[in-house]
Amino acid sequence: MKTEWSMDTKIIHESQFPDPQTGAISQTLVPAVAYAFPDAETAAAVVAGEEEGVYYGRYGNPTSRTLEKKIAALEGGEDALGVSSGMAAISIALLGFLKHGDHVLVTKDVYGGTYSFLTSLAPRFGIEFDFVDCTDIDSMIKAIRPNTRAVYIETPSNPRLTILDIGQISEACKAYQLPVIVDNTFMSPCLQKPLELGADVVVHSATKYINGHGDVLAGFIVGKKDTIQFMRKKLMGDLGQNLNAWDAFLILRGMKTMALRVERHCSNAQKIAEYLESHPFIDKVFYPGLKSHPQHELAKTQMKGMGGIVSFEVKGGLIEGKKLINSLQLAMISFSLGDPETLVQHPASMTHASIPQEERMKFGITDGLIRVSVGLEDADDIIGDFDQALSALFSASETKIITK
């Protein structure tokens, strides 16, 4: 008889069972496109959603369905939808609530891909938007219009790691009957449960911590069953953004170590953040696990861990920042995050390059900002890599000036 499992146990066992025919413990991979039915009535019932089942590969497959059930259980949602990328999840979640003439409020600290979708594609659908400071609930409420239909936030934000109060935002939005969509990518279900805090929909780029091995593009949307069913039929299926069986299989395999991986990412990131904060060549460090972070106390109440992302500004700005990441020997320059390897990137010219400079500066994304996805290597080796790069960055005369 099943008991109420902890998160670590659920990650391994939830919705997964040995194959009833072969006894295989490893997840069965079913890449089929077409599925046969015993009669026309059963086929019609599956298509109508009256019976559980898959009828065509564009709307899902048995392997991805196992994964969807697991993700829904981990996030505490009624159902989940697996799609082909994180941006597919973000765009489907937004289009699930928005149509021509509608307006959406979006946190000003937002991933560059989300910004690009809103500024380039949303206007083609006649969708309006405003970027607002969601750390200020009153300002957020004042920005609500008669045609506002949703509020979209990400917390911690990318790349400055601003923490938003999901509970307060959700409570405020309920008075206006506005659904709250939360990008939970940086946390994973291990560290933060937005639905339990009052949010309506959660999105993930599963490419990151959920898969955790840098070899799959995927996304998830979690919410109420009818909402997910609409997104499956009318958005994912019709737009062809489905998650294929092989990628679902790889995620199911990668997820079995997610709890261990996330724990190591967090502990390593805390050490790297503390090292950087104490370094004379670093101006600012953004990490919610530091007492200097403006939302440190909120993070402790809302999150079970502080995550694996650390951002910082090196003294000297853009030129020195690029010199620094070019001098790293262990860490690699890359756009992604959540991999076993430590990855660094320069948001202004990489992940957030689609945002004009004047807008980036409003969002606090300076030209000298560096984002680190802290990997699973030994923390001392990661620190040693940054130490040698920082030591080589400035000449002896420059060092005296900077450290005064």
Give the residue numbers marked as catalytic. 58, 111, 183, 208
Residue 161: count of CB within 10 angstroms of its CB? 26
Report the first-to-last Cα separation within the chain, whole angstroms. 66
Are residues 251 and 210 in contact, defined by beta-carbon separation less than 8 angstroms? yes
Helix (H, G, I), strand (E, B) or coil at 400: helix
E-strand stretches of 134-176: 148-154
Q: Which SS3 state, helix, strand or coil, does residue 46 take?
A: helix
Pairing of strands 148-154, 332-333: unpaired
> How many Å apart are CA 334 and CA 158, to the nearest integer?
15
Report residue 56 as tokens: 């065509």
- 40: number of Cβ within 10 Å: 8
Check: CB of residue 346 under 8 Å from CB of residue 321: yes
Helix axes 379-391, 318-327, angle to 10 degrees: 130
| Strand locations in 99-217 (E) | 103-107, 128-132, 148-154, 180-183, 201-205
CB 107, CB 131: distance < 8 Å: yes
* Cβ contact 122:114 at 8 Å: no
3-state SS, one letter per residue, for 86-131: HHHHHHHHHHCCCCCCCEEEEECCCCHHHHHHHHHHHHHHCCEEEE
Look at residues 144, 152, 58 and name the one whose alpha carbon lies nearest to residue 113.
Answer: 152
Q: In what order do the strands lie in the sheet with 343-345?
A: 282-286, 309-314, 369-373, 343-345, 332-333
Q: Tokens 């923390």 label which residue?
A: 379
CB 285, CB 276: distance < 8 Å: yes
